[in-house]
Amino acid sequence: MFTVIGLMLTGMLLGYLLRKRNLSKVHKVITVLIWVLLFILGIEVGGNEQIIKGLHTIGLEAVILTTGGTLGSVIAAWVLWRALYRRKGGEA
């Protein structure tokens, strides 16, 4: 845990110190590394027999969580929008 926090703080410090430099290629490197990490994660998941056997259950839970999270966010945003719009004296 301390390693992760230390790496994040080190990255923040380097970002602060290098903020005036042109770091346009960093975005491309990060994108490639993310794709490589996702590929390796796929290899690990595909090699785990328990995950493959329970994929239908995991998939159903993921759909339920995704749907619930999305609907909750939409409803909360709609309620907030109505509350802020009424405060300004307009009609929603």
Residues 46 and 52 sit within 8 Å (Cβ to Cβ): yes
pLDDT higher than 70, residue 91: no
**CA-CA-CA-CA torsion sign (10, 16, 18, 24):** positive
Closest CA to 16 of 8, 24, 27: 8
Backbone angles phi and psi of 90, in degrees to 5: -95, 175
Mapping DSSP onto H, E and C, the string for 34-57 reads HHHHHHHHHHHHHHCHHHHHCHHH
Q: What is the pLDDT of residues 15-70, one digit of tens each?
A: 899 888 888 888 899 999 999 999 999 999 889 998 888 878 888 888 899 999 99
> Does the model's pTM come out above 0.85?
no
